[in-house]
Amino acid sequence: MAHMEYNVPSERWPAHPETATMEGKNKFIGFWIFLAGETTLFASLFATYLALKDSVPGEDHPLAADLFALPLAFVMTMFLLTSSLTSVYAIYHMRNNNFAKMQLWLGITVLLGLGFLSLEIYEFIEYVHHGHTFRSSAFGSAFYFLLGTHGFHVVIGLGWITLLILRNARRGISVYTAAKVNTASLYWHFIDVVWVFIFTIVYLLGVM
């Protein structure tokens, strides 16, 4: 009777360690379903934003075209896109059973994510100085709620990946931890998917 093996010897390391166990497969399917639910969550946010865009109480309140700066949004996009690639590298090394490199690439992903987050905070502070706040108008509320929910996802993703790096530091890589890393990476990619729509709909269409 084969009891559970967490540390599979390298000659029997499966081609897809993340779905090699029943639990892994459950996590994989369950998480995709969760992401599908997130699409309608973000759809509601985008819809609300589009309905309330530039809906402000008075003439003196700044509008989207006055506020948004493309260079900053471009740099933020680069940070997030690159972090998506680095987490692809982490998964590549996970499948090759290369623990040290996996941890390294996860670490780089976190750093890039932190870069994105600090730029976003800087951006928000700028807007607040221009009088565009969460409470100033319906436009402000919708903008900060959409961007804030995405930013919150980034924070959760960073906390999650950091926690995984720390908790796995001692344990190494196994079919049990591989499933965890894979889910976190799917989550991170999804954050990037949402950002693609944010920079297109909020920033690019916003400044036009």
Partner 1 sequence: MASTAKKQGVGSVIWEYLTTVDHKKIAILYLIAGGFFFVVGGIEAMMIRIQLAVPNNDFLSAGLFNEMITMHGTTMIFLAAMPLLFAFMNATVPLQIGARDVAFPFLNALGVWLFIFGGIFLNLSWFLGGAPDAGWTSYASLSIASAGHGIDFYALGLQISGAGTLISGINFVTTIINMRAPGMTYMRMPLMTWTTLVASVLIVFAFPPLTIGLFLLIFDRMFGSSFFLVETGGNTIIWEHLFWIFGHPEVYILILPAFGIFSEIFATFARKRLFGYSAMVFATIIIGFFGFMVWAHHMFTVGLGPTANAIFALATMAIAVPTGIKIFNWIATVWGGSIEFTTPMLYALAFIPSFTMGGVTGVMQAAAPADYQYHDSYFIVAHFHYVIVGGVVFGLLAGLHYYWPLMFGTMLSEKLGKITFVIFVIGFHMTFLIQHFLGLWGMPRRVFTYLDGQGYNTANLISSIGALMMAIAVIILVINIIMTIAKNQKVGRDPWGDGRTLEWSLPLPVPYYNFAQIPLVRGLDAYWIEKKANNGRMMPSESLEDFHMPNNSFIPFVMSFGLFVAGFGALYFASGKDWAIDAVSGLPVHPWAPWVLGLGLAITIGAMITRSVKDDLGYYVTKEEVLRDLEEEERRAK
Partner 2 sequence: MAEIKQEPMSKKKLDYVRRERTREMRQQIISFSLMIFLTFVAFGLVAMDVSPQFVIPIVIGMAFIQVILQFYYFMHMKDKGHEFAKLFIMTGIFFALSFVVTFIYIVWIGKPI
Based on the number of CB atoms within 10 Å of its own CB, is 29 exposed (0-12), middle (13-18) or buried (19 or more)? exposed
Which one, of 184, 147, 146, 196, lies nearest residue 35 by Cα? 184
CB of 193 to partner 1, least distance (A): 15
Instruction: Between 49 and 124, name the residue whose CB sits nearer to partner 2.
Output: 49
Does position 39 interact with partner 2 (CB under 8 A)? The reply is yes
Both structure tokens of 101: 């490199």
Instruction: Between 84 and 168, name the residue whose CB sits nearer to partner 2.
Output: 84
Stretch that binds partner 1, among 27-35, 68-76, 122-130, 189-197 (CB under 8 A): 27-35
Polymer length in residues for the chain: 208
Does position 52 interact with partner 1 (CB under 8 A)? The reply is yes
| Residue 89: half-sphere exposure toward Cβ, Cα within 13 Å | 16
97: left (phi over 0), alpha (psi -120 to 50) or beta: left
Site for partner 1 in 166-185 (CB under 8 A): 167, 171, 176, 180
Site for partner 1 in 142-161 (CB under 8 A): 142, 145, 160
Alpha helices for the chain (secondary structure H): 22-52, 64-67, 70-95, 99-129, 138-171, 175-197, 205-207
Both structure tokens of 208: 């036009």
CB of 200 to partner 1, least distance (A): 20
Tokens 């926690």 identify what position?
163
Stretch that binds partner 2, among 90-98, 100-108, 129-137, 145-153 (CB under 8 A): 90-98
Does position 88 interact with partner 2 (CB under 8 A)? The reply is yes
Binding site for partner 2 (CB under 8 A): 2-5, 8, 11-15, 19-23, 29, 32-33, 35-40, 42-44, 46-48, 50-51, 70, 73-74, 77-78, 81, 84-85, 88, 92, 95-96, 175-176, 186, 189-190, 192-193, 196-197, 199-201, 204-205, 207-208
